């Protein structure tokens, strides 16, 4: 039976990967396969379907089994929409408002000013990377941040003599999802039952992986891309520089660069003062404060109504693109868990002793990395497999965060390796280069990032 359960788990994962590679909608694939797996698990190995309805054996029929499966989906929707889903939607609403009033664009525009003072162009690339990673804590969308950097920093890089393909490659490395405002970070906290401790998890765990990634990749960038330029020159692949795009200073007051930081400031102040403040409230407080500032600036109450529409529209769009994937991937994860193969593999790995933890971190991280690469979405891959990690961590005797964290980071790195990821397509389309040309140049550094992620996360298991 154990072999059947493991085989069923591998087969189910492979079938899902196949249909995603065939470019079927991942929401449909996850949701449909999750229902099928829940029903099959019940009939093959007797795993009960998660349901609030308790039934006696004589009451169970195929119809009630089907009903319980859909009831589980309903429960998952209710739980996510009132929890992590609403948190992510509030973050998206605030981010869209910052974009709408040009506050985030102003921040990115002014952040690139110090770069023009650096003489060595390869050190400029490292500086760009560090600035971009710092902005990521405020502008949490990967594609959104890259679009801002394309408008504000990319023209500076080209004007300083950096080749477009190299500039694009460095921007694509600004890949990690982190910080209290990030959807994946919020989801990670929810997976381990610490939804209200996003700031604490960031400070005590996530920050160290991010810092290690930023420091090591920033040090490698000058040497690596100098070698890339020499290699391309030897192979006669050097491109002519594109026409330098116009650098536009966004129209808003300079102090608006502080506004995108408001939710972060509220959350950190509340954390250190030991005041209970959730991410949703921090975002809505920030929106209200910006409303006041915008009213003082424009003296137009009607404009605030239009701004509210921008916020609500962004919240609805993030539901379609992110929250629905979280829900569908959660159903799929429950189906995979019901097959039992993951539990058996977890028990087997736990018996390996000292090497069990590093082996598990490596296997799960690369599994999510490759799924994110296939799907072009980090959050979908993370939710499909991240929810399995807490149970495995318990079997290994480690804190769940130390196993969920490397999977979360791996999902972001895998997305940056995907030629169909929104951020990569935005970069490639902007400079009219094939996405694969960016991927070919960044994959070695992203794999080094995976090594950093795995080793630092392993170290955190000992703390």
Token readout for 355 is 């090497």
Backbone angles phi, psi at 174, to 5 degrees: -80, 70
Asked whether the predicted pLDDT for residue 121 surpasses 80, the reply is: yes
Say how far apart CA 285 and CA 41 lie, in whole Å: 45
pLDDT digits 0-9 by tens, 436-447: 889 999 999 999
The pLDDT of 395-413, averaged and rounded, is 93
Q: What is the pLDDT confidence band of residue 227, given thresholds at 50, 70 and 90?
A: very high
pLDDT of residue 396: 86
pLDDT of residue 204: 94
Q: What is the pLDDT confidence band of residue 13, given thresholds at 50, 70 and 90?
A: confident
pLDDT of residue 321: 78
- What is the pLDDT of the chain when averaged over all its residues? 86
pLDDT of residue 240: 52
pLDDT of residue 354: 62
Lowest mean pLDDT among 51-65, 73-87, 167-181, 271-285: 51-65
Domain extent, residue 182, equals: 1-45+54-460
pLDDT of residue 386: 85
Asked whether the predicted pLDDT for residue 218 surpasses 90, the reply is: yes
Lowest mean pLDDT among 45-49, 110-114, 119-123: 110-114
pLDDT of residue 103: 87
pLDDT digits 0-9 by tens, 59-118: 777 888 888 888 888 888 888 887 788 888 888 898 889 889 988 888 877 877 777 677
Asked whether the predicted pLDDT for residue 14 surpasses 90, the reply is: no
C-alpha separations of 242 from 103, 237, 238 in Å: 28, 15, 12
C-alpha separations of 425 from 105, 169, 176, 237, 438 in Å: 20, 12, 17, 21, 10
pLDDT of residue 243: 59
Distance separating the N- and C-terminal Cα atoms of the chain:
38
The pLDDT of 254-280, averaged and rounded, is 90
CB-CB neighbours of 313 under 10 Å: 13
Q: What is the pLDDT confidence band of residue 221, given thresholds at 50, 70 and 90?
A: very high
pLDDT of residue 416: 93
Asked whether the predicted pLDDT for residue 119 surpasses 70, the reply is: yes
The pLDDT of 129-138, averaged and rounded, is 91
pLDDT digits 0-9 by tens, 174-216: 999 999 988 889 989 999 999 889 999 999 999 999 999 999 9
Asked whether the predicted pLDDT for residue 241 surpasses 90, the reply is: no
Residue 390: Cβ-neighbour burial (10 angstroms; 0-12, 13-18, 19+): middle
C-alpha separations of 372 from 89, 169, 208, 292, 444 in Å: 22, 18, 23, 40, 17
More confident site: 238 or 434: 434
The pLDDT of 126-151, averaged and rounded, is 87
Instruction: Report the number of distinct structural domains present in the chain.
Output: 1
CB 136 within 8 A of CB 174: yes
């Amino acid at each position: 039976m154990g072999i059947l359960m493991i085989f069923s788990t591998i087969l189910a994962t492979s079938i899902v990967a196949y249909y995603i590679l065939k470019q079927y909608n991942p929401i449909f694939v996850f949701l449909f396969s999750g229902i099928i797996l829940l029903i099959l698990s019940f009939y093959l190995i007797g795993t009960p379907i998660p349901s609030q309805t308790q039934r006696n054996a004589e009451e169970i029929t195929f119809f009630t089994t089907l009903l319980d499966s859909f009831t589980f989906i309903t429960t998952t929707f209710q739980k996510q929409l009132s929890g992590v889903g609403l948190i992510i939607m509030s973050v998206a609403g605030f981010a869209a408002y910052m974009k709408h009033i040009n506050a985030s664009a102003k921040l990115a525009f002014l952040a690139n000013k110090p770069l023009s003072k650096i003489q060595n162009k390869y050190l400029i690339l490292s500086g760009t990377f560090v600035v971009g990673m710092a902005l990521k804590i405020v502008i949490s969308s990967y594609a959104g941040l890259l679009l801002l950097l394309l408008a504000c920093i990319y023209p500076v890089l080209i004007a300083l003599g950096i080749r477009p393909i190299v500039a694009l490659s460095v921007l694509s490395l600004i890949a990690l999802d982190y910080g209290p405002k990030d959807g994946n970070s919020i989801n990670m906290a929810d997976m381990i039952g610490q939804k209200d401790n996003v700031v604490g998890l960031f400070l005590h765990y996530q920050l160290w992986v991010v810092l290690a990634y930023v420091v090591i990749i920033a040090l490698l960038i000058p040497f690596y891309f100098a070698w890339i330029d020499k290699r391309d020159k030897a192979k006669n692949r050097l491109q002519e520089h594109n026409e330098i795009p116009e650098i536009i200073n966004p129209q808003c007051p300079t102090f608006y660069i502080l506004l995108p930081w408001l939710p972060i400031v509220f959350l950190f102040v509340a954390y250190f003062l030991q005041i209970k403040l959730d991410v949703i409230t921090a975002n809505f407080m920030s929106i209200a404060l910006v409303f006041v500032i915008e009213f003082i600036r424009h003296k137009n109450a009607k404009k605030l109504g239009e701004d509210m529409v921008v916020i609500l529209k962004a919240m609805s769009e993030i539901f379609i693109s992110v929250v629905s994937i979280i829900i569908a991937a959660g159903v799929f994860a429950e189906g995979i868990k019901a097959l039992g193969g993951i539990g058996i593999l977890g028990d087997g790995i736990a018996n390996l002793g000292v090497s069990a933890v590093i082996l598990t971190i490596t296997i799960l991280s690369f599994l999510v990395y490759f799924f994110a690469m296939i799907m072009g979405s980090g959050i979908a891959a993370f939710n499909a497999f991240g929810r399995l990690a807490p149970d495995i961590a318990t079997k290994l005797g480690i804190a769940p965060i130390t196993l969920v964290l490397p999977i979360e980071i791996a999902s972001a790195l895998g997305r940056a390796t995907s030629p169909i990821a929104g951020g990569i397509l935005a970069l490639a389309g902007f400079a009219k280069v094939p996405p694969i040309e960016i991927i070919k140049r960044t994959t070695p550094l992203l794999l080094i990032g995976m090594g950093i992620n795995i080793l630092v996360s392993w170290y955190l298991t000992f703390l």
